[in-house]
Chain A
Amino acid sequence: MNIPSGLPSEPLLGMIVALGDDELVLGHRNSEWTGFAPILEEDIAFSNIAQDELGHSLAWFSLHEQLTGKTPDWMAFERNWRDFACCRLVAYPKGDFAYTVVRQFFFDAAEQVRMKSFAQSSFDPLRQLSVKILAEEAYHLMHSQGLVERLGDGTEESHRRMQAAAETAFPQSLGLFEDFPAEADLVKAGVVKPSRELQEEWLTEIMRVLTRATLVVPVRKKNGTFEPECSPDLGGRTGRHTDDLRQLVSDLQHVYQLAPGQPW
C-alpha cells in the first residue's frame, strides 16, 4: 500500500505510530490489572479492555507495516523506547483503581472524538480503521464512564480518591491533544482535524460526565466552550518521555530481546 502522492507521508506515518504507541502502552498498563482488580467480574472486564487496546495497537502497526514493511512485533519489541511517540499520560504507573478508571475514561472519550473525526479523513485507511476501533471503544467508554459516575459519587473515600485521580490525570490527558509533528501539514491535506478542536469536543464530553460524578477539574467556560486552566503535560509526541516509559518498554521487550527477531 502506498500513501497517495498529495499527502505528507512522514507526518502521516508519525501519527500512525503515535496512535499505535498510545494503545500499546495503555493496553500494557491495563493488563497489569489482570489478576488484581477489585472483584473478579472487574478483573474479567479490565482484561477485555486490555486485550482490545493491544488489539488496536496491533491494527495501527499493521497499517504501518503495509506502508513501511516494518512488522508490528518489530515496532513494539525491537524499537528503542526513545522513538516511541505515545503521550505521557498512558505511560504513568497504574496507580490505584481510581487513577486507572479516570485515565481510562479520559482516554476512551478522546479516542471516541478522534476516531469520529477520522470519518472525514482524506486518507482512506484511517476512515476504515476508525470505524472498527469505534465499534469496540463505545463499550469501553460505557464501562469507564459508568465507573467514573458511580465511584465519583459513591462513598466519601471513593469520591476523595476519584477527585485526586481526576486532578492528576487531567493535565496529563491534555497530552492526548498535543500536536503531532508537522500536524499543520496533515490538517492542510485533510487527513486530520486540528488536535485543538478535538480537545474542545473532548472537554465538552468529559465535563458532562464529571459533573454527574461530582468531580471537579481546572477549567473555565468561555463563549460556551471549556478551556483548561492548568498547564498540559506535553512532550510524548516528540519523544520527551518520563522514565516510566523507559521502564515499561524495558519490561515489554525483556523476553523478546533474549533472542530478538526469533519466533517466540
Chain B
Amino acid sequence: MTEKSHNEQLTEFEARVARGDKVEPGDWMPDEYRQNLIRMIGQHAHSEIVGQLPEGKWIPYAPGFRRKLTLVAKVQDEAGHGQLLYRAAETLGKSREEMIDELLAGKAKYSNVFNYPTPTWADVGVIGWLVDTAAVINQSMLAQGSYGPYARAMKRICYEESFHIKQGYDAIVALAKGTPAQRAMAQDAIHRWWYPTLMMSGPPDKASPHTEKAMRWRIKTKTNDQVRQEFVDLIVPQIRALGLDVPDRDCVYDEAAGHYRFTQPDWEELKRVINGDGPMNKERLDVRRRSHEEGRWVREALAAKAKRANAA
C-alpha cells in the first residue's frame, strides 16, 4: 500500500463529507477540522457544565414538588450533556482532564448566556424556553454534522432538550396566567434574556470568517444568521400568544420576506462576555474551581483504591 499524499487524503475526506458520510475517530482528517471540532465540542461541553449554575441556583427555592423535581432533572441533564460532549471531544485526542483544566484556567470559551445573572424564579422558565429553544435549533443542525461522535451525542441531547423547553414553557405559562406579580416576573425575565439569547447563535455572518469552511466540512450546516432568524421566527409568536412581549418595537413580521424583522443585539457586548468580561464570568468560574478542588480528594481516593485492587 502506498502512502497517500496530503492532497489525496484531503480530496477523499472532502468527498466523504460531501456525500453525507460521517467522519469517525481514527479517520484521516485535516488538522484544522480536528482542532476546530475539539474547540467547538469543548466549548459546548463547558457551556453545559457552567450552564448548570444559573438554573441550579434555584433548585433549593423551586416552588412545589413538581417544579423542584423537574429542575433537578433538568440541571442533571446538563451534567449528562457535558459528560457526553467531553467524551465526543476525547475521541479527537484531547482528554477530559485537559479540557476541564483549560476551562478552570479561564483559557476556554463557553456560551455567552451563562454569564448573566438569574435574579428571579422566572429566569428558570425563560432559560428553558428561550435559551433552550435557541440551543435546540443550533443543536439539531449540529446533529446533521459530519463528525460521527458529535452528531450521535447531539441526537440524544436534542431529545432531552425538548423536555427542557417544555418544562420552561410550562413554568412561564403558569406565571403568565398567575397573579400580576407572577406575570410581571415572567415579562421582566423575557426582557432581560432576549438579547443575550439572540447572541447565542454567534456573531453575524459577515463577521464570522470561519463559516465558509465549517459549512464545507459540514461542521455546521447553517450559518449563525440563519439559526438566529429561525429562532426569532419560532419564538416571537409563542411569546406574543401568551400576551407577553419582546423588548424590540421593530420586531414585526415581514410578509414579503416571510420572516420577522428584529433589532441586532450589541455585538460588542457579545465579544466582551465571550472573552471573560460579562456580569457573571468571574463568579461562574470561581464556583466551578471551588467544587473541582473540593472534589479532588474523592477522585484521587477512588482512583487509588481501584489501583490497589487491580494490583492485588
Contact = CB atoms under 8 A, between A and B. Distances in A.
A32 B301 contact: no
Given A35-B53, A41-B83, A158-B297, A263 B177 contact: yes
A155 B64 CA distance: 41
Nearest to B81: A40
Nearest to A62: B65
B52 A35 contact: yes
Nearest to B75: A34
A264 B63 contact: yes
B307 to A, nearest CB: 10
Chain A interface residue bracket vs B = 35 or more
A41 B64 CA distance: 27
B82 A35 contact: no
A262 B298 contact: no
A54 B295 contact: no
A50 interface: yes
A31 B181 contact: no
A96 B297 CA distance: 11
B178 A263 contact: yes
Interface of B: 49, 52-53, 56, 58-65, 67-69, 72-73, 75-76, 79-80, 82-83, 86, 121, 171, 174-175, 177-179, 181-182, 291, 294-302, 304-305
A58 B66 CA distance: 9
A57 B64 CA distance: 12
A54 B69 contact: yes
A259 B178 contact: yes
Contact of B63 (A32, A42, A255): A255
B72 A54 contact: yes
Contacts of A151: 298, 301-302, 305
Interface string A233-264: 00000000000000000011011101100111
Question: Interface residues of A: mostly helix, strand, loop or mixed?
Answer: helix
Contacts of A37: 79, 291, 295
Contact of B73 (A51, A155, A254): A51
A157 B297 contact: yes
A41 B171 CA distance: 28
Contacts of B291: 35-38
B294 to A, nearest CB: 7
Interface string A18-41: 000000000010011011111111
Contacts of B63: 77, 255-256, 258, 264
A264 B304 contact: no
B69 to A, nearest CB: 6
A116 interface: no
A255 B72 contact: no
A50 B181 CA distance: 31
Nearest to A72: B65
B255 to A, nearest CB: 38
26 contacts: A31-B60, A34-B52, A34-B72, A35-B49, A35-B53, A37-B291, A39-B299, A40-B49, A40-B86, A42-B295, A44-B80, A47-B75, A51-B69, A51-B76, A58-B69, A97-B298, A150-B301, A151-B298, A155-B297, A155-B301, A155-B304, A157-B300, A158-B301, A254-B60, A264-B121, A264-B171
B301 A262 contact: no
Contacts of A263: 174, 177-178
A55 interface: yes
A4 B298 CA distance: 50
A236 B204 CA distance: 59
